[in-house]
Amino acid sequence: MPSFSSPPNPQAYYQQVWEIVRQVPFGKVATYGQIAKMIPPPSGVEIEAYVAFAPRWVGGAMAACPDDVPWQRVINSQGKVSERAGAERQRQLLEQEGVEFDAKGRIDLKKYGWSGKDDEVSQPRLL
């Protein structure tokens, strides 16, 4: 299996990642792997390689995201904020959204995980 440190067209891949992450609702989280599964493998990348490398590619996209992308809502598969510069800020932003962490620093993905669908129930607005 070939090794891919980045997608064949990083900018095109990153754009797809950012578009998905913009849909994660306030107070919800998604994992790197979950975001990766929502994007088809780029041309020329076999599915086995994609499954192995895509979550890292999503991480690369999040590290380079524009200001309008709610980067704090993407966490690792263990339900944790990944250890790196900015990790404490990510936790603070999530807590401000009402996301709770347990004593081991994990988020309950059953409670706060985004299904990838519109979790918000549309409420009629009074004008």
User: Does some domain include residue 22?
Assistant: yes
pLDDT value for 117: 67
Q: Residue 90 is encoded by which pair of tokens?
A: 């990510």
Q: Does residue 118 belong to any structural domain of this protein?
A: no
Within a domain: 121: no
Establish if 122 belongs to a structural domain.
no
- Stretch 105-109: mean pLDDT: 97
One-character DSSP codes across 3-34: --SS-SSHHHHHHHHHHHHTTSPTT-BEEHHH
Q: 33 forms bridges with which residues in the sheet?
A: none
Q: What domain range is 65 assigned to?
A: 10-112
- Residue 89 carries which side chain, given as an amino acid letter? R
Q: pTM to 2 decimals?
A: 0.88
In a domain, 102, yes or no: yes
> pLDDT tier at 5 (50, 70, 90 boundaries)?
confident
pLDDT tens-place string over residues 42-71: 999 999 999 999 999 999 999 999 999 999
* Residue 119 within any structural domain of the chain: no
Digit-coded pLDDT (tens) for 19-47:
999 999 999 999 999 999 999 999 999 99
Q: Is 46 a domain residue?
A: yes
Angle between helix axes 47-63 and 10-21 (nearest 10 degrees) is 70
Count of structural domains, the chain: 1
Residue 5, in any domain of the structure = no
Q: What is the pLDDT of residue 1?
A: 54
Instruction: Report the 10 Å Cβ neighbour count for 35.
Output: 26
- Of 84 and 112, the structure prediction assigns the larger pLDDT to 112
Per-residue pLDDT of 67-79, as tens digits, reads: 999 999 999 999 9
Q: How far is 99 from 108, CA to CA, in rounded Å? A: 9
Question: Tokens 């090794």 belong to which residue?
Answer: 3
Q: For residue 96, what is the domain's CATH number? A: 1.10.10.10
Q: Which of 5, 103, 115 shows the shortest CA–CA distance to 53?
A: 5
Spatial CA neighbour of 75 closest among 119, 104, 112: 112
> What average pLDDT is seen over the chain?
90
